[in-house]
Structure 1
Amino acid sequence: MTEPRFEYGVSLYSYTGEYGVTMTLDDCVEDVADLGATGLEILGEAHVQDYPNPPAAWIDAWFARLERYGLTPTCYGSWVDTRRFGGRPMTVDEAVWQLETDIRLAATLGFRFVRPKLGVVTSDLEPDPVWEPATERVLDLAAEKGIVICPEIHWPSVIRSKVVDDYLAFIERTGTEHFGLLMDTGVFQTRMHHRRGGVASRLGEGSARPPEVPVVPVSDLEDVLDHVVHVQAKFYEIDDDLRDQYIPWAEFLEIILRRGWSGYLSSEYEGDYGVGRAADQLRRQHALIRRLVTPA
Structure 2
Amino acid sequence: MFNGGLAAGDHEVAVRLDLRNVYMQFGPGAYGMVDGSATRTLTLLPAEAEAEAEADAGTASGVVVTASGVAVTEHPERSGQSERPEPAPTTIGRIEQAVSLYGFEERLVDVPSYGVADMFAELNDLGVQKFELIGSMVFDQYPRPKAAEIRAINQLAEKYGVRANSYGGYLDKGKITGRDATDADIMLDVTADLMTARDLGAPFLRSGDIPLHLLEASAAMAERYGVRIGIEVHAPHKPSDASIQAMLARMDEIDSPYMGLVPDFGCFIERPAQPALDRHIANGAKPELLDYVIEHRHDGLDEAGMQATIASMGGGEAEKWAISEMFGFLSFGPADIEGFRTLLHRTQYFHSKFYHVTQDLTDPQIPVDKLLAAIVESGFQGVLLSEYEGHAFHLDDAHEQLERHLRLEQKVLNGLSVLAG
TM-score clears 0.5: yes
The answer (yes or no) to whether the contact 1:242–1:285 under 8 Å persists in 2 is: yes
How far residue 53 of structure 1 moved from its aligned partner, in angstroms, is: 4.4
- The aligned residue for residue 218 of structure 1 is 337
Tell me by how many angstroms 1:49 deviates.
4.1
1:113-166 Cα deviation digits (max 9, x unpaired): 112224xxxxxxxxxxx6233333332221011111111111211111122212
Shift of 1:225: 0.8
Contact 1:80-1:117 at 8 Å conserved across structures: yes
1:250, 1:292 within 8 Å by CA — same for their partners in 2? Answer: yes
Tell me whether 1:168 sits opposite 2:248 in the alignment: yes
Identity of aligned residues (%): 26
> Higher relative contact order at CA 8 Å, sep ≥6: structure 1 or structure 2?
1
State the match for 1:282 in structure 2: 402
Question: Is the Cα contact below 8 Å between 1:11 and 1:266 reproduced in 2?
Answer: yes
- Cα displacement (A) at 1:89: 1.3
Distance in 1 (CA, whole Å) between partners of 2:219 and 2:211 is 12
8 Å Cα contact 2:239/2:336 also seen in 1: no
Of 92, 115, 129 in structure 2, the residue corresponding to residue 24 of structure 1 is: 115
Task: Indicate the residue corresponding to 1:159 in structure 2.
Answer: 239
Counterpart residue type for residue 357 of structure 2: I
Q: What's the Cα RMSD here?
A: 2.3
Q: TM-score, normalised by structure 1?
A: 0.86
Alignment of 1:8-19 (within 5 A): 8-19=97-108
Change (3 A) 1:192 1:113: same
| Matched AA of 1:230 | Y
* 1:170-206 Cα shifts (integer Å, max 9, x gaps): 2133232211010101112111225243586745462
- The one-letter code matched in structure 1 to 2:121 is E
Q: Secondary structure at 1:180's aligned position in 2?
A: strand
Contact 2:355/2:388 (8 A) holds in 1: yes
Q: Distance in 2 between matches of 1:294 and 1:175?
A: 32
Letter in 2 for 1:109: L
1:61 aligned residue: 152
| Larger helix percent | 2
Select the residue among 278, 292, 295 that pairs with 2:412. 292
Paired amino acid for 1:286: L
The code of the aligned residue for 1:197 comes to R
Q: What are the superposed Cα offsets for residues 200-252 of structure 1, whole Å, 9 maximum, x if unpaired?
A: 67454624526x96422324322221111110110011111111101111112
Residue 121 (structure 1) aligns with: none
The more displaced of 133-142 and 14-23 is 133-142
The worse-fitting range, judged by mean Cα deviation, of 31-40 and 212-221 is 212-221
Per-residue deviation at 1:266? 0.9
Q: Which residue of 1 aligns with 2:266?
A: 186
Contact kept? 2:144, 2:193, Cα under 8 Å = no
Distance 2:377 2:211 in 1: 33
Given that residues 270 and 332 in structure 2 are in contact (C-alpha distance below 8 angstroms), is that contact kept between their aligned partners in structure 1? no
**Is 1:4 aligned to residue 93 of structure 2?**
yes
Aligned twin of 2:227:
147
Residue of structure 2 in register with 1:124 after alignment: none
Instruction: Show the 5 A alignment for 1:118-267.
Output: 118=209, 131-193=211-273, 195=276, 196-198=278-280, 202=294, 204=298, 206-207=323-324, 209=327, 214-267=333-386
**Structure 1 position 59, deviation (Å):** 3.0
**8 Å CA contact retained: 2:194, 2:205:** yes
In the superposition, relative to structure 1, how do residues 237 and 141 fare at CA in structure 2: closer, same or farther (>3 Å)?
same
Letter matched to residue 212 of structure 2:
E
Amino acid at match of 2:155: A
Instruction: Tell me: CA distance 1:55–1:101, structure 2 relative to 1, closer, same or farther (3 Å).
Output: closer
- Counterpart AA for 2:128: A
Partner SS state of residue 224, structure 1: helix
* Structure 2 residue identity aligned to 1:250: D
The residue that corresponds to 2:162 in the other structure is 71
Structure exhibiting the larger radius of gyration computed from Cα positions? 2
Greater shift after overlay, 97-106 or 264-273?
264-273
For 1:59 and 1:86, locate their aligned partners in 2 and report how far apart those are by CA, in whole Å: 30
Q: Aligned residue for 2:63? A: none
1:24-65 CA distance string (max 9 Å, x none): 111112112210112110111211243344444433332232
Answering whether residue 223 of structure 2 is matched by residue 104 of structure 1, we say no
TM, length-normalised to structure 2: 0.62
Displacement of 1:283: 0.3
- The answer for the alignment partner of 2:176 in structure 1 is 85
- The answer to whether the 8 A contact 1:159-1:216 is kept is no
Instruction: Flag structure 2 segments of 5+ consecutive residues without an equivalent.
Output: 1-91, 284-289, 299-305, 307-322
Q: 1:92 to 1:215 in 2, by over 3 A?
A: same
Amino acid at match of 2:268: F
